[in-house]
Amino acid sequence: MSVEKVLKLIKDEEAKIVDLRFVDLLGTWQHFSVPAHVIEEDTFTEGLGFDGSSIRGWQSINESDMLVVPDAQSAFLDPFTEVTTLNLICCILDPITKQPYPKHPRYITYKAQEYLKSTGIADTAFFGPELEFFILDSIRYDIKQNASYYFLDSQEGIWNSGKDEEPNLGYKIRNKEGYFPVAPTDSLQDLRTEMILNLEKVGIEVETHHHEVATAGQCEIDMKFSTLLDMADKVLKYKYIVKNTAAMYGKTVTFMPKPIFGDNGTGMHSHQSLWKDGKPLFAGNLYAGLSELAMYYMGGIIKHGKAIAAFTNPTINSYKRLVPGFEAPINLAYSSRNRSAALRIPMYSSSPKAKRVEVRFPDPSANPYLAFSAMLMAGIDGIINKIDPGEPLDKNIYDLPPQELANVPKAPASLEEALQALEDDHEFLLKGDVFSEDLIRTWIDYKKEKELKPYSMSINPLEFFMYFDA
């Protein structure tokens, strides 16, 4: 969409408000709104000013002025606002130099695309993430000096099998049995359908929706794959649509990786492929129909897996999902059919165009701009340096004897371990000036100071259960 078409859209739809959105360092949309008449042709080059000092991980108070510059191609009408509102995703510029702000995650994704082209390896990277999430009926949580708790609930939760619901109809989902019975056990069909309709209103093509494995409303809606930057934009649109549609039904959605103890967590399996001149590069005559280039791409993901986990699995809670026994890919290996491997080659189609690699360890708490870019950079490094991914692991990883399992590289067991891996291994991210030392340092420091430090000092109710009578 051109600038002229955006201005015409505002006029034709009689939009009264334009909402300007940008993503912060951790992956949350921030926004402010202006009357539609404020948006003119030069807004798309000159931008509008705002205070960036309160945005997480960004500017200090003494250099807070920043510019948002709308991307005309990102325009979409908001399906939820009472007053007709046009949303625009923005780039961030320094108001003095007019250069892109180097810690804006969307700019990093743009640079990753340009770096891929500059290598001559490919001109397009396609990504297709599978975002899972929980739809809950209520959530309460608090932490105080003398108390700490959370309480969540879902009418589907197996813990409600004995609850007096006046009446209790009994259709509760047993742990690990949510994939995927029909209604009335699956009580969320209509809500997911409404989510799909809203997604399609904002230009997101949907392929499927269904209940997921866990009890208590775990769901998945799959988008059609797209190019790197476009897909990162769509992930934030997706989260916005899903959360707001659920709210209209009186429910809430979380993309937290492991909100429920004792059942499957939530992942963001990310399908990836490289193309050049309109031709797929991952199809070949090697393992599972992959090309040599695709094998090297996987080699890069495996080699740098621990480091990129700091971006693909960026929360303390992420590592409560990456544990044995819940279909979580904790071992950095690849397979054509084994879903317990961290990398999988889907075999649904024999078409060269469908040949891709599915990276299974990311989760949807990730900032998609940073996570997708980090995976792409690891894959490019694997191709450039011809990194061998090793032998496939076409067996159940969880049944391997200890001596064989010891030779399989592992995903990090904690956020602290992932951040240390990123600190030790990030040269591949700096290529092409895609990531910067400053951004990586800011990310590590923020996570340590704002997340790991308070978590290490907090007291968990489990500690009372285990130690109160010491």
Question: Is there a single domain that holds both residue 294 and residue 148?
Answer: yes
Spatial contact of 360 and 339, defined as CB atoms under 8 Å apart: yes
Interatomic CA distance for residues 45 and 25, integer angstroms? 23
The residue from 60, 86, 101 where one domain ends is: 101
Residue 119 in any domain: the answer is no
Give the phi and the psi of residue 468 in degrees, each rounded to 5: -60, -35
Q: Are residues 304 and 444 in the same domain?
A: yes
Distance of alpha carbon 366 from alpha carbon 233, whole angstroms: 13
pTM of the model: 0.95
Structural contact between residues 399 and 435, judged by C-beta atoms closer than 8 angstroms: no
Please say if 51 is a catalytic residue. yes
Q: Assess if residue 315 is contained within a domain.
A: yes
Catalytic residue among 21, 192, 356, 360: 360
Q: Is residue 205 part of a domain?
A: yes
Mark whether 9 and 43 lie in a shared domain. Answer: yes
How are beta strands 268-276 and 357-359 bridged, if at all?
antiparallel
Q: Kindly state the average pLDDT of the residues 405-409.
A: 82
Q: Select from 101, 134, 169 the last residue of a domain.
A: 101
Q: Are residues 456 and 323 in the same domain?
A: yes
Q: Per residue in 57-73, pLDDT tens?
A: 876 545 678 999 999 99
- Which of 212, 233, 381, 416 does the annotation list as catalytic? 212
Q: For this structure, is 360 an active site residue?
A: yes
Same domain, 145 and 239: yes
Do 96 and 138 belong to one domain? no
436 domain residue, yes or no: yes
Same domain, 252 and 340: yes
Pairing of strands 331-335, 341-344: parallel
Strand segments, DSSP code E, in 144-291 are 148-153, 206-211, 218-223, 226-227, 252-254, 268-276, 279-280
Tell me which of 186, 233, 263, 358 is the catalytic residue: 358
- Report how far residue 233's alpha carbon sits from residue 5's, in angstroms, rounded to the nearest whole number: 20
Instruction: State both tokens at 13.
Output: 């739809």
Are 218 and 346 members of one domain?
A: yes
Catalytic (active site) residue 212: yes
User: pLDDT digit string (tens) for 115-161?
Assistant: 999 999 999 999 999 999 999 999 999 999 999 999 999 999 999 99
Catalytic residue among 24, 132, 186, 263: 132
Euclidean distance between the first and final Cα of the chain, in Å? 66
Total structural domains within the chain: 2
CATH number of the domain that residue 342 is part of: 3.30.590.10
Residue 75 shares a structural domain with residue 153: no
Q: Are residues 34 and 155 in the same domain?
A: no
Residue 53 lies in a domain: yes
Q: Could you tell me if 37 and 130 lie in one domain?
A: no
Tokens representing 223 are: 């988008």
- Single-letter amino acid code for the residue at 140: R
Catalytic residue among 4, 339, 427, 441: 339
In-domain check, residue 107 = no
- The reply, when asked if residue 321 is annotated as ligand binding, is yes
Residue 391 annotated in ligand binding: no
- Same structural domain for residues 240 and 373? yes
Residue 110 placed within a domain: no
**Per residue in 34-48, pLDDT tens?**
999 999 999 999 999
Is 130 marked within a binding site? yes
137: Cβ contacts below 8 Å, ≥ 6 apart:
153, 154, 155, 217, 250, 251, 252
Check whether 272 is labelled as a binding-site residue.
Answer: yes
User: Helix, strand or coil for residue 208?
Assistant: strand
Cα 155 to Cα 321: distance, rounded to the nearest angstrom: 23
Determine if residue 132 is labeled as part of a ligand binding site.
Answer: yes
* Residue 84, in any domain of the structure: yes
* Domain coverage including residue 36: 3-101
Q: Is 63 one of the annotated binding-site residues?
A: no
220 labelled catalytic: yes
463 exposure class (CB count in 10 Å sphere: 0-12, 13-18, 19+)? exposed
Task: Single out the residue of 86, 19, 79 nearest to residue 201, CA to CA.
Answer: 79
Is residue 14 annotated as involved in ligand binding?
Answer: no
We report the CATH number of the domain holding residue 17 as 3.10.20.70
Catalytic: 41?
no
**pLDDT tens digits, one per residue of 232-264:** 999 999 999 999 999 999 999 999 999 999 899
